[in-house]
A and B are shown apart, each in its own frame.
Chain A
Amino acid sequence: MPDDRTMKVLRNLMKKQNFAVLATFHDDEPYTNLVGFASSDDLRYIFFVTPVATKKYTYLRDSGKASIMIDNRSNRESDLKDAIAVNATGTVTEVEKTKEFREIYLRKHPYLTDFLESPSSAMMRMEVHRYIIASRFQNVVEIDMR
């Protein structure tokens, strides 16, 4: 079990950051996108929304494997000491836009209501298998969520 301090750092980052880098792959080629995300309170799930006519949706539907990077870099030298980057890996599936999931997502991104509610967009959920937290340049901690 990770210590409380690490969990607090993780929880704080997941709460404060609005956007993350989603990595997928297809035909042995990696592919990345910026997505607006929200996570469940227990951090086991990460939600994001994508139009269905996109590469990321097709790739995720094909394999479901993905990783998501969430970080708080400020693009300054101080990042070497202060930035925290979290890498979440797991399985992504399309889920129904239920009331519960919509609330989780819209609490963080209320301005994306139309985007979420569009029949041409899909709500995706990553079931997180593992978080990898990198801080102070090269300190790395892994948290197994299974």
Chain B
Amino acid sequence: MKELVIPMENIQEEHRDLIGSKAFSLHSIFHIGFNVPSYICITTNAYERYLNSSSLKGRIILELSRKDISDMRWEEMWDTSLRIRNMFLNTPIPNSLASDIRKYIAERFTDTPVVVRSSAPGEDSSQTSFAGLHESYVNIRGTEAILEHIRLVWASLWSDAAILYRKELGLDIKHSKMAVLVQELIAGDVSGIIFSSSPENKEQLVIEAIHGLNKGLVDGDIEPDRWSIDRRTASIDQYSSPSGRNRIVHLRDSGTSLESSSDELSRTVPLDETEIHRLHSIAMELESSFGHPQDIEWTKKDNELYILQSRPITTADDEEKLWYLSLRRNMNNLKQLRLKIENELIPEMIEDARILGSVDTGSMNNEELAGEIIRRKELYDNWDKRYTDEFIPFAHGMRLFGQVYNDMVRPSDPYEFMGLLSGSGLLSIKRNKRLGQMADILRTDPSRFDKIMAGSIDDSFEKEIDTFLEDFGHSGSIGNRDELLKLITEMASRPEKKIPVESGHSDVEEKFFSSFPEKDRAFAEELLDIGRISYRLRDDDNIYLGRIEHQYLLSLDEAKRRLADRIEGPEISNDIELQEILKALNNETYVPVISKMDENKKTGSDSKLFKRQIQGQPAGKGLVTGIAHVIDDNKELFNVRSGEILVCDAIDPNMTFIVPIVSGIVERRGGMLIHGAIIAREYGIPCVTGIPDATMVIMNGDEVTVDGYLGIVTIKRK
């Protein structure tokens, strides 16, 4: 019979792959003679039995087969992870398996709080480290809660970061397994980590220590006291104290919280010299035993020292992984980021766009214009970088909310939480509403509509246009009166399309709040608030960024207009490099080089290969068939006709004014929480995202069916 659970005393060498690296390392530490907390291992056999006895295995394979992982963006990976995690949350452990595990838990942990940790085979080796990618849960009490958290640790095998990291390492995603360590919680007085070889100086060893549980240090919430020690002589080379020891991890009835520490603790250095020497000698012994420098977690309770885990120090962390992990923000961090974005960054962006807008580039000479273009480009690039560094991480707010919502409510639809975020006053929706109102004016007054079509605009409507442009028009896409009029008349020529009023939001809200105990309601409210702001700003910040981009593009347009005389042939447009424009502005005789358009860029036009049906991400529910309108250039947006299917590379909020008139959306960029998907859901328009090369494989005039339920796009070419 396959072993499902192995207590620490029964572990043998042959169990290594069944119990995973972390558990096997603890076994080795135990055999060397160090204290380790009592533990049992839920083997990979148990994980496989769980998968096989439910429909999970097939569902995970289907989810991962949707698209090659190497073609996924991180937002798509988050979606994949969210959906898989929700499958685990809604699939109970079968009774027979649960009974087997319960027996072992009851023998050891009936009244003892535990830590439930991941221990995936190959998780920690000298080449790979999944540190921080899989989940661990601290202070779990009671058999059923432990079983529940075993399931959550299994689910974390499919966390977005873990999927990304496996992709980076080329590990086998479809056959990944997870063992789980259920370990007695030692409520240490002092805890910390040791790097047996410092990453900065190989002659040194580093010890970090904090008061209380190690969680505060490992999660990065508490700054530790830090010692650099000579590996050979054990003498202290350097000591640095933290800026404060005012916080400590506190054990709650279940789980932990970060609290203020006592005055006495905040004045006390957590380790004395004897203890430091003791830790040094332990680290050297473990390094010698494992044959590789070690990253060790330890805790001390009532003068008894315990080793919680030891793993090889990996040599390198790639930048993408680090940036990705930096996106996982905690609540405090998100709250600070929100204040910064709302109070500093957005007002600064608005002001920068206003200042740029007040500069008249038309009155500048060519050299001055070249300088202005460079200034605007630098400003735009600077804001674009801040967007990546600060706005995108804040978008994690809605992801965090989504994950907590799913953990607490366990809905069958993993995107049910979106219902609570939408309708939160997106700037783009307000803009579209105003467009709708202007279209409505013309719709209800046919003679006025006819006059405008004939080129005669009355003063009152002229004023509407001006006000709109003042409020919303100075963005990357809308800025031209003629194009705006074309859009409004197109909208007016069709029946009005309103945003469907979603019902049942209050039910969903109630479901969310009632899933929390009374004492945690404030946290739930705070989280929902952050989720909503994050959702709204994710859209709005792009609009503000678009205004700055628009000013930059305007200066380029001015330059292109002046240089048009020097160019023979087709109209000078976006296909001219910036450097060429600047060179020509600074040299009156220079003729700028125009890049040649790639005439054969569309696949399918001259190929026998025809992609008839493509699978992407189901991003907006609904099923619709219509004629494709492919957007290669934002200016093309103004030629879209009502009822067409919008096919584009990526929708940003500056483009979403077109959404109310289209009947479906196909987007190359994937994800459920990207702008195209968000706005499509707001309008109830079928949307499929993550279609590779969408604008290449679909051609203008193709009949396209968008299945927003299953994420399938079908192309019919005449």
Contact of A12 with B by CB under 8 A: no
Contact of B623 among A54, A110, A113, A119 (CB under 8 A): A119
Question: Once the chains bind, are A52 and B623 in contact (CB under 8 Å)?
Answer: yes
How far apart are B710's CB and chain A's nearest CB, in angstroms?
5
Cβ–Cβ < 8 Å partners of A54 in chain B? 613, 714
Cβ–Cβ < 8 Å partners of A118 in chain B? 707, 709-710
Closest to A36 in B: B58
Question: Once the chains bind, are A111 and B58 in contact (CB under 8 Å)?
Answer: yes
Contact of B609 with A by CB under 8 A: no
How far apart are A54's CB and chain B's nearest CB, in angstroms?
7
Report Cα–Cα, A120/B688, bound state, in Å: 13
Interface core residue of B56, B57, B59 (most chain A CB under 10 Å): B59
Contact of A137 with B by CB under 8 A: no
Q: Is the interface of B mostly helix, strand, loop or mixed?
A: mixed
Closest to A121 in B: B710
Question: Once the chains bind, are B705 and A111 in contact (CB under 8 Å)?
Answer: no
Contact of A111 among B55, B707, B710, B712 (CB under 8 A): B55
Question: Once the chains bind, are A119 and B55 in contact (CB under 8 Å)?
Answer: no
How far apart are B717's CB and chain A's nearest CB, in angstroms?
14
Closest to B612 in A: A55
Report Cα–Cα, A54/B713, bound state, in Å: 10
Contact of A53 with B by CB under 8 A: yes
Cβ–Cβ < 8 Å partners of B55 in chain A? 110-111, 113
Interface core residue of B625, B709, B714 (most chain A CB under 10 Å): B709
Contact of A115 among B623, B705, B710 (CB under 8 A): B710
How far apart are B714's CB and chain A's nearest CB, in angstroms?
5
Chain B, residues 686-718, CB within 8 Å of chain A (1/0): the string is 000000000000000000010111101010000
Question: Once the chains bind, are B623 and A120 in contact (CB under 8 Å)?
Answer: yes
Question: Once the chains bind, are B57 and A120 in contact (CB under 8 Å)?
Answer: no
Chain B, residues 50-62, CB within 8 Å of chain A (1/0): the string is 0000111111011
Report Cα–Cα, A121/B705, bound state, in Å: 13
Cβ–Cβ < 8 Å partners of B710 in chain A? 51, 114-115, 118, 120-121
Question: Once the chains bind, are B714 and A111 in contact (CB under 8 Å)?
Answer: no
A window 29-84: CB within 8 A of B: 51-54
Report Cα–Cα, A110/B60, bound state, in Å: 12
Closest to B705 in A: A53
Report Cα–Cα, A51/B623, bound state, in Å: 10
Closest to A109 in B: B58
A window 80-132: CB within 8 A of B: 109-115, 118-121
Chain B, residues 613-624, CB within 8 Å of chain A (1/0): the string is 100000000010
How far apart are B473's CB and chain A's nearest CB, in angstroms?
38
How far apart are B17's CB and chain A's nearest CB, in angstroms?
26
Question: Once the chains bind, are B623 and A111 in contact (CB under 8 Å)?
Answer: no
Question: Once the chains bind, are A111 and B57 in contact (CB under 8 Å)?
Answer: yes
Closest to B714 in A: A53
Interface core residue of A53, A112, A119, A121 (most chain B CB under 10 Å): A53
Question: Once the chains bind, are B58 and A120 in contact (CB under 8 Å)?
Answer: no
Report Cα–Cα, A112/B65, bound state, in Å: 13
Contact of B59 among A51, A111, A119 (CB under 8 A): A111
Closest to A18 in B: B58
Cβ–Cβ < 8 Å partners of B709 in chain A? 118-121
Cβ–Cβ < 8 Å partners of A112 in chain B? 58, 62
Cβ–Cβ < 8 Å partners of A115 in chain B? 710
Question: Once the chains bind, are B707 and A51 in contact (CB under 8 Å)?
Answer: yes
Cβ–Cβ < 8 Å partners of A111 in chain B? 55-59, 61-62
17 more contacts with CB within 8 A, not counting A51-B710, A118-B710, are A51-B712, A52-B623, A53-B623, A53-B705, A53-B707, A109-B58, A111-B55, A111-B56, A111-B59, A111-B61, A115-B710, A119-B623, A120-B623, A120-B707, A120-B708, A120-B709, A120-B710
CB<8 Å pairs between A and B, sample of 10: A53-B705, A53-B712, A112-B58, A114-B710, A118-B707, A118-B710, A119-B709, A120-B707, A120-B710, A120-B712
Where the two chains meet, the residues of A that have a C-beta atom closer than 8 Å to any C-beta of B are: 51-54, 109-115, 118-121
**10 A-B pairs with least C-beta separation:** A111-B58, A110-B55, A53-B705, A118-B709, A111-B55, A120-B709, A120-B623, A111-B59, A53-B714, A120-B707
